[in-house]
């Protein structure tokens, strides 16, 4: 089995703009987010024809995928949604201001400020944000890093199961989810920080495993 996967983070949302955490919760795409997704679809015209399309079940990812496909002239291509491709679950921290959560974690870890915490997190050997949130979540619903990655891998297995050899596939997912997938393939490929909204990355599947081909594909 060989496969080309074009991995896209959803367009910018209201919560992205407000600086609020958005995992399993959702908020609408902004006008800027819709325009970026549409523009990405236009620029992909003539460069790649998708044989299949997948997204998480989150409305922001679904809308982004539809905008890309429509602008690209492939609006009739069925979109398959996969629940396991959703963003990290922040549990009781869903919808909270990002800065407030970072401050809570920094204080919990006995660090002098948020900048020190962010430096440790981004260069860490594991997802310290996921582990901290799951530990501090008052509702006990936030995912551990292990559970998060296991779920994402299940989603990727579903893509492989529903795809055919040599297909080119679109997949729309989320910031932390994309970073976690990349880290699971190559721990040194990227820091623990989300790629920009409506960014395209490419993964290839061959010889029984995923390979990172491009971390930021530019189309003009």
DSSP 82: -
- What is the helix (H) or strand (E) element at residue 45, kind and residue range? none
What is the extent of the structural domain holding 38? 3-90+144-214
- The pLDDT of residue 217 is 60
Is 103 domain-assigned? Answer: no
* Residue that the structure tokens 């529903």 belong to: 162
pLDDT at 220 over 60: no
CATH number, domain at 174?
3.40.50.1240
HSE-CB at 210 with a 13 A cutoff on CA atoms is: 19
pLDDT at site 219: 43
> CA 218, CA 213: separation in Å to the nearest integer?
13
Return the pLDDT at 137: 97
Burial of 149-175, coded b for 16+ CB within 10 Å and e otherwise, reads bebbeebbebbeeebeeebebbbbbbb
User: How many domains are there within the chain?
Assistant: 1
Residue 171 reports pLDDT greater than 70 = yes
Give CA–CA dist 11/73, Å, rounded. 19
- Whether 97 is covered by a domain: the verdict is no
- Residue 4: pLDDT over 50: yes
How confident is the model over 41-59, as pLDDT tens digits? Answer: 999 998 999 999 999 999 9
Whether 111 is in a domain gets the answer no
Identify the pLDDT of residue 120: 96
Q: Over the stretch 67-99, which tens digit does the pLDDT of each residue have?
A: 999 999 999 999 999 999 999 999 999 999 999
Q: Is the pTM of this model over 0.75?
A: yes
Residue 191 lies in a domain: yes
Q: Report if residue 101 sits inside a domain.
A: no
Work out the pLDDT band at 215, boundaries 50, 70, 90. confident
What is the dihedral angle through the alpha carbons of 82, 168, 79, 40, rounded to the nearest 10 degrees? 110
For residue 134, being part of any structural domain is answered with no
Distance of CA 82 to the CA centre of its chain: 13
* Residue 61 near residue 175, CB atoms below 8 Å: no
Query: What pLDDT band is residue 60 in, cutting at 50, 70 and 90?
Result: very high
pLDDT tens profile 14-46 = 999 999 999 999 999 999 999 999 999 999 998
138 in a structural domain: no
99, part of any domain = no
Chain mean pLDDT for the chain? 96
């Amino acid at each position: 089995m060989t496969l080309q996967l074009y991995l896209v983070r959803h367009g910018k949302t209201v919560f992205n703009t407000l600086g609020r955490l958005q995992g399993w919760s959702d908020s609408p795409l902004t006008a800027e987010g819709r325009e970026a997704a549409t523009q990405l679809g236009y620029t992909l015209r003539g460069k790649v024809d998708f044989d299949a399309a997948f997204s998480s079940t989150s409305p922001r990812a679904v809308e982004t995928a539809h905008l890309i496909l429509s602008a690209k002239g492939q609006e009739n291509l069925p979109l398959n949604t996969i629940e396991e491709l959703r963003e990290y679950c922040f549990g009781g921290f869903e919808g909270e201001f990002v800065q407030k959560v970072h401050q809570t974690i920094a204080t919990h870890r006995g660090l002098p400020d948020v900048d020190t915490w962010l430096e440790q997190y981004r260069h860490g050997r594991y997802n310290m944000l996921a582990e901290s949130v799951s530990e501090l979540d008052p509702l006990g619903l936030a995912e551990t890093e292990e559970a998060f990655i296991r779920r994402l891998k299940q989603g990727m297995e579903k893509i492989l199961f529903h795809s055919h050899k040599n297909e080119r596939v679109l997949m729309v997912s989320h910031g932390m989810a994309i970073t976690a997938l990349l880290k699971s393939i190559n721990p040194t490929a990227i820091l623990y920080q989300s790629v920009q909204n409506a960014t395209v990355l490419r993964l290839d599947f061959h010889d029984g495993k995923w390979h990172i081909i491009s971390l930021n594909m530019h189309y003009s």
